[in-house]
Chains A and B, each alone.
Chain A
């Protein structure tokens, strides 16, 4: 991973807002690299500065101090015209979709191509191809108001892909969508990442989003980079208080593993509930249907708007075969599993 090309190199990025002699530090000394082809998650509580951070990546926000390199080029040194050119390869999708409501779906997808001064006939062809990628070619003449939230975000993704970008920034792109649609959009993003080798940067406050599709994650708290690493590493053994807090939303930062496993070499996994499977008594069902048992080490669930979210850390059976049966059962139920040890 590390020998891959770097899409972004951030060095000591600091953002300070000055207003009426009052100073507010939104980002402080953030240094990180983003590699080509990865899905990079940036997670934090609201107000942590993650949205500001993603906006510095295409200079919608100017930074106060530090340096942001995009494929080795210093973004901050670009003249307005050069910046506009660079932005054509840095696409962005938003929580509120930001589609042109008075234009049809295909006109929306064509607009980045118009900005790039591509001939009209070619614009139409590319736009149709992009709509095929997101599965909405039959809606090309509809207006955004006639589409559902999930469909609107698909149009926004098609629009973002039209200019053949090198990186896709997603600013809380699934936060306005329900869990099922979120899942579909994340699937689509993952597929695009795979098939087009597109680097994807995702800003979110939902750990389930990071868990499902990100390769690496950065945790931002109060404008500071609290932790960065592979998703599995960070999620299974969070080091910073911020990471622990995000993983255990009830704030029991120290209770990641309250029970000790029966032996040090046992197989432990973390199961995340994403709202779809929370209503099912699946531990009981596991025992009834497979006859295998698991040892619950910790559990933490909460209800958000009537939908269950949370996680459970369980110790799998010692026997390899039994352990596999249990894992297959969980995966068959569509649960997201992360191996702890």
Chain B
């Protein structure tokens, strides 16, 4: 393998890491509250609101049913608006974030649904306000499950980030495409794949470990 390819792969790892980290971060900033909203507005829950729940649920479902590659293309105008360009590592953070938000929202919703209703009933009986219940009862009880979900979500974002290479995003995906697909350099292709696999495994292992150490029951 040529020296410049090695450097490119190293650069790709850094870019993939950056894309994954920032996209996951921004996606959680939006997706966590959205997931809480989906959960709390559902039937029989604290802020039951069927209209809002239906609207949010529909948006989430539509975004989730779009293949990520299509979403990448659809997001180009929005990306240009926000970043000023639609090419490169920073630009790909926009579609990655938008693509991850609905997945995270659903994952958060399902984690919160695991909290036994008895806990909420107890909180209610103590005279806790709905906000207090979400903040001090439901979310803390769901932490181990939320962390486990986060590991899955971050690994998904990593996978998506490789796809961003198709429309000019950076990272390992772009390298695999340029060197592996267009020039058919098998070694480069397999090296990038190996790197991606290792990264996903590390994320999953870290998530599982964190979740376990936080779980008290």
Contacts and interface: CB of A to CB of B under 8 A. Distances in A.
B128 interface: yes
Interface residues of A, number: 29
Interface residues of B, number: 22
Given A87-B125, A115-B132, A144-B217, A102 B118 contact: no
Contacts of B129: 84
A102 B125 contact: no
B174 to A, nearest CB: 41
Contact of B143 (A60, A83, A102): A102
Contacts of A102: 140-141, 143-144, 214-217
Nearest to B129: A84
Nearest to B119: A98
A111 B216 contact: no
A90 B125 CA distance: 8
B59 interface: no
20 contacts: A60-B121, A60-B125, A84-B127, A87-B124, A87-B125, A88-B126, A91-B125, A91-B126, A92-B122, A98-B116, A98-B121, A100-B137, A101-B141, A103-B140, A115-B126, A115-B127, A115-B128, A143-B217, A144-B217, A145-B217
B127 A96 contact: no
B70 to A, nearest CB: 40
A115 B135 CA distance: 12
Contacts of B216: 101-103, 143-145
Interface string A204-225: 0000000000000000000000
Contacts of A91: 125-126
A86 interface: yes
Interface of B: 116, 118-119, 121-122, 124-129, 132, 136-137, 140-141, 143-144, 214-217
A309 interface: no
B141 A111 contact: no
A169 B122 CA distance: 12
B127 A86 contact: yes
Given A83-B127, A87-B127, A88-B126, 14 more contacts: A60-B124, A84-B129, A87-B126, A90-B125, A94-B118, A94-B121, A98-B119, A100-B119, A100-B137, A102-B215, A103-B140, A115-B127, A115-B132, A143-B216
Contacts of B127: 83-88, 112, 115-116
A91 B129 CA distance: 15
Interface in A107-140: 111-112, 114-116
Nearest to A95: B118
Closest 8 CB pairs of A and B: A87-B127, A145-B217, A101-B217, A98-B122, A84-B127, A143-B216, A98-B118, A92-B125
Nearest to B216: A143
A60 B137 CA distance: 17
B140 A111 contact: no
A58 interface: yes
Contacts of B137: 100
Contacts of B119: 98, 100
Contacts of A83: 127
B129 to A, nearest CB: 6
Q: In this complex, which of B126, B128, B214 has the most chain A Cβ atoms within 10 angstroms of its Cβ?
A: B126
A238 B44 CA distance: 41
B44 to A, nearest CB: 13
